[in-house]
Chain A
Amino acid sequence: MVRKENLFIENNEIKLEAEYYESSSKKDIAIIICHPHPQFLGV
């Protein structure tokens, strides 16, 4: 089943806002994308 979900990832006491898309076919590999500095560029 193809799906995109909004979720929070826990890092100790911190919760990280995230969006995850799960492939319908290639379930064994994933990409992580890291954004620019929020005080320098829009995120």
Chain B
Amino acid sequence: MNNNVVSAVFDLFVNNNISCLRFNFRAVGRSTGSHSSGRGELSDVKACVDFLINKKKIDQIFICGYSYGAAIGCSMVEYSPKIIGYAAISFPWDFMGKKYKKLSNSKKPKLFVQGDRDNVANYGRFMDHYASYNVPKEYRIVKGADHFWWGLESLAAEEVYRFYESLMNT
């Protein structure tokens, strides 16, 4: 959860006084358990949603995920009516398979942030994947950004925050 992109998003929301939760999936950092090829990690996101609703009495939740975290986190968008939408940074469709595209293809608002030098979440196939999603949807292409976003992570975070603000103002 201390990845450069995750930290950039977390810090930006915190600096704007928005409640924010970042966590480590199972078997990462001090989280217990073992990797489970996505299935268990999906339930980890559910546990976080339940925590915010039941323990913190949160009424609206916005999900942001980066890379693998985009595929997993955004796939839980329909888990609760309290989830209002998501932002996916560098969604690795070609690595993750069709399951996650199907699960994340919600009719809730969604933003895709993509670097034009990304050859992991392949920029060349981005528009094909994006086109298959239901509206409402938006995308942002960040010039010069590859999959790792080093030095440009703040640009990805700013796009996520602007999208979040646009949802709050509608």
Contact = CB atoms under 8 A, between A and B. Distances in A.
A2 B15 CA distance: 11
State which size class the interface on A falls in: 35 or more
Interface residues of B, number: 59
A6 B75 CA distance: 25
B73 A31 contact: no
Interface string A14-43: 111111111111111111111111101111
Which secondary structure dominates where chain A touches chain B?
A: strand
Interface string B147-170: 110000000000000001000100
Interface of A: 2, 4, 8-38, 40-43
Interface of B: 1-6, 9-10, 13-14, 17-33, 40, 43-49, 51-52, 56-70, 72-73, 84, 147-148, 164, 168
14 contacts: A8-B30, A14-B32, A18-B21, A21-B13, A21-B21, A27-B57, A29-B168, A32-B52, A32-B61, A33-B1, A33-B22, A37-B67, A40-B68, A43-B3
